[in-house]
A = this chain, B = another copy of it.
């Protein structure tokens, strides 16, 4: 439980192929097993997969939702936050986190990476936007975990 109550955001595409889904699931699971609270944008794809991995090992999962209804959250979100702010919720998501993990993703994810770096938060990148100065790139869920454990040592 080395990450007990640590707040970690997992960000990424709202639609994921099997490889990306499995990767994000694995990240959620590994972090959840250590006691982290997983914050995501609460919708599908990478967000769902990360919540699912964490949820299945009993971790807390938070969905910072863009819309007006808690019901838009994926079923693995335990705590829905209903912002009704559209992409404005990206800023809150990043601000909640101590570390941000980016997995794949489009422009929304890029905005979150940039916002996190702007706020001086560590960003770990896995199969995501390349060559962003400041991002710590890794190549597996296990490496995500080991990097994060390093940050908190």
Residues of B within 8 Å of A117, CB to CB, are: 107
Minimum C-beta distance from A98 to chain B (A): 8
Pair B107/A111 contact, Cβ less than 8 Å? no
> Which secondary structure dominates chain A's binding surface?
mixed
* In the assembled complex, A60 has its CB within 8 A of some CB on chain B: yes
Residues of B within 8 Å of A114, CB to CB, are: 107-108, 110-111, 114
A111 to B83, CA, bound (A): 17
Copies in the complex: 4
With A107-B114, A110-B110, A111-B118 as contacts: A88 and B79 at CB distance below 8 Å:
no
Pair B68/A95 contact, Cβ less than 8 Å? yes
A132 to B106, CA, bound (A): 11
* In the assembled complex, A136 has its CB within 8 A of some CB on chain B: no
A71 to B106, CA, bound (A): 28
Pair A60/B78 contact, Cβ less than 8 Å? yes
Residues of B within 8 Å of A81, CB to CB, are: 62, 64, 81, 92, 96
* In the assembled complex, A149 has its CB within 8 A of some CB on chain B: no
From the candidates B70, B86, B90, name the one contacting A84 in the complex (CB within 8 A): B86
Closest B residue to A66 by beta carbon equals: B84
Minimum C-beta distance from A116 to chain B (A): 8
